[in-house]
A = this chain, B = another copy of it.
Amino acid sequence: MSLSAARSRILHAWRATLGGVTEQPMTPEHSSGTRLDPWFGAYAERAHGMRASEIRALFAVANRPEVVSLAGGMPFIEGLPLDVIGEAMQRLIRTKGTTALQYGSGQGEESLREKILDVVALEGVEAHPDDVVVTTGSQQALDLVTRIFVDPGDVVLAEAPSYVGALGVFRSYQADVVHVEMDADGLVPAELEATLTRLESEGRPVKLLYTIPNYQNPAGVTLSLERRPQVLEICRRHGVLVVEDDPYGLLGFEGDPLPALRSYDAEGVLYLGSFSKTFAPGYRVGFVIAPHAVREKLVLASESSILSPSNASQLAVDTYLETCDWRGQIKTYREMYRDRRDALVGALSEHLPSASWNVPGGGFFVWVRLPEGLDAKSMLPRAVTGRVAYVPGTAFYYDGRGAGHMRLSFCYPTPERIREGVRRLAAVVNAEAELVQLFGTSARPDDDPTDVEIPSPDLA
């Protein structure tokens, strides 16, 4: 197939997947269904804003092999020792099958909860197995925490920008998310203090601070060592519970991990962890470490939601931690992802000097500011036509900001593909910049900010 034929095919598929969403006006009717849905009038209030975000439609196209996806947050698990894991799984079923295949406890298997403590100890977290609740990925932990703490209208603080999947959960429980600014050292304590003081003077109840202190998604920045106790002190003084989401903490590229917020404060922090990035996401095993009374509520909420997390998955991770070299695997991941970060940052310097970005010390993401006047969301269809994909910055804000930014992931494509992707991206950006110079803007109005952006699994 010729290049232009391939482009036309992609554009066609892209329009087809996007069409149903973007060509409809954003009225309440459309956001809650259509008259063709016989149950149109029956949905709960919280479901009214639930609709697929436009960027979801991207993935049907971006996952095609001819597109370099710098969009997804999928870990590169091809390097896992599948033979070893397969054998361990066989042994597990043969020797512990009647446990692995049975219902388990709502809180999770004790042997796994014990081993989880070995993992979090690497970030200075000391806890008791009784403090751990195993969840179906840390996404379920986010859902449960929000469920037990957030009434409609309550405020949740989140970094600006923040993880799209967390914003989606908060929104689905009808919370108000208020963003707190970051700089190169992460969340700015003075901004946090000022925001809390302002919200208190307005009489608005703040329930949670949601923060990703290490290699933040999407901004890639890390909360400095100095600021960690400061953030905790401010939250404690204002009576705000800290939700520390830490999927990337062990995936730093230099030096030892920083101490987790939870290592300073056992009563004021809910620590959310996951095996999705340090091992594999397919088992959907995450966890929360919580103060006693909160832990009890989380278990009850989880039992109401799923009865019990999968014993098969839990014992699989338990077996992996017991019989495989999980520390060595994390080291392998760190080196691989460092190479990919270097490839991405190097290619940006070479091909896209008109943009600016940070150099993350770990994790999966680089946060790019486009040249003045460019809109990452309106440019996206043209980028996909140019066979490269990213996530526009608007996805990571609750308040419509972010049009001038994009998140580039370096976790999944090889360094060579990353370089090719940035070359393609630069061509799209440069063409877009020319348009802006000629016509003043390429942007279009923001979407309805009241829509619930539901996370796509690819955005994790």
User: How long is the Cα–Cα vector from A338 to B383 in the complex, in angstroms?
Assistant: 62
User: How long is the Cα–Cα vector from A277 to B247 in the complex, in angstroms?
Assistant: 34
User: How long is the Cα–Cα vector from A424 to B371 in the complex, in angstroms?
Assistant: 79
A42 interface residue (CB < 8 Å to B): yes
Our pick among B47, B101, B267 for the contact of A280 (Cβ within 8 Å) is B101
A78 interface residue (CB < 8 Å to B): yes
For chain A, the count of residues having a C-beta within 8 Å of the partner chain is 96
- CB pair B300–A103 under 8 Å, yes or no, is no
- CB pair A151–B44 under 8 Å, yes or no, is yes
- CB pair B282–A47 under 8 Å, yes or no, is no
Known: A87-B90, A307-B457. Is A241-B42 also a contact (CB below 8 A)?
yes
- CB pair A102–B281 under 8 Å, yes or no, is yes
Cβ-closest chain B residue relative to A53: B300
Our pick among B86, B147, B282 for the contact of A311 (Cβ within 8 Å) is B282
Known: A42-B149, A77-B98, A98-B77. Is A140-B455 also a contact (CB below 8 A)?
no
- CB pair B455–A307 under 8 Å, yes or no, is yes
- CB pair B104–A80 under 8 Å, yes or no, is no
User: Chain A 348-377 against B: per-residue CB contact (8 Å), 1 yes, 0 no?
Assistant: 000000000000000000000000000000
Binds B, one of A32-40, A125-133, A182-190: A32-40
- CB pair A148–B307 under 8 Å, yes or no, is no
Our pick among B46, B74, B86, B140 for the contact of A305 (Cβ within 8 Å) is B140
User: How long is the Cα–Cα vector from A140 to B431 in the complex, in angstroms?
Assistant: 47
Cβ-closest chain B residue relative to A148: B47
User: How long is the Cα–Cα vector from A415 to B267 in the complex, in angstroms?
Assistant: 49
User: Chain A 166-202 against B: per-residue CB contact (8 Å), 1 yes, 0 no?
Assistant: 0011001100000000000000000000000000000
A204 interface residue (CB < 8 Å to B): no
User: How long is the Cα–Cα vector from A307 to B91 in the complex, in angstroms?
Assistant: 29
Known: A101-B77, A457-B106. Is A309-B284 also a contact (CB below 8 A)?
yes
Known: A50-B148, A306-B137. Is A100-B293 also a contact (CB below 8 A)?
no
- CB pair A82–B74 under 8 Å, yes or no, is no
A324 interface residue (CB < 8 Å to B): no
User: How long is the Cα–Cα vector from A89 to B452 in the complex, in angstroms?
Assistant: 38
- CB pair B148–A303 under 8 Å, yes or no, is no
Q: In A43-85, which residues have CB < 8 Å from any B CB?
A: 43-47, 50-52, 74-75, 77-78, 80, 82-83, 85
User: Smallest Cβ distance from A365 to chain B, in angstroms?
Assistant: 16
User: Smallest Cβ distance from A379 to chain B, in angstroms?
Assistant: 25
Q: In A405-440, which residues have CB < 8 Å from any B CB?
A: none
A310 interface residue (CB < 8 Å to B): yes
What residues of B have a CB within 8 angstroms of the CB of A168 in the complex? 303-304
What residues of B have a CB within 8 angstroms of the CB of A86 in the complex? 89-94, 97
User: Smallest Cβ distance from A305 to chain B, in angstroms?
Assistant: 5
A234 interface residue (CB < 8 Å to B): no
What residues of B have a CB within 8 angstroms of the CB of A457 in the complex? 103-106, 303, 307-308
Cβ-closest chain B residue relative to A144: B305
- CB pair B301–A172 under 8 Å, yes or no, is yes
- CB pair A97–B80 under 8 Å, yes or no, is yes
Provide 6 A-B residue pairs closer than 8 Å at the C-beta atoms, listed in order of the A residue.
A47-B147, A80-B98, A101-B282, A303-B454, A304-B454, A305-B305
10 pairs of A and B residues whose beta carbons are closest in the complex: A37-B293, A86-B93, A101-B280, A101-B282, A90-B90, A82-B97, A308-B457, A284-B310, A282-B311, A47-B148
Residues of A near any B CB (own CB < 8 A): 33-34, 36-40, 42-47, 50-52, 74-75, 77-78, 80, 82-83, 85-87, 89-94, 97-106, 136-137, 139-140, 143, 147-151, 154, 165, 168-169, 172-173, 207, 239, 241, 267-268, 276, 280-284, 291-294, 296-297, 300-301, 303-313, 316, 452, 454-458, 460
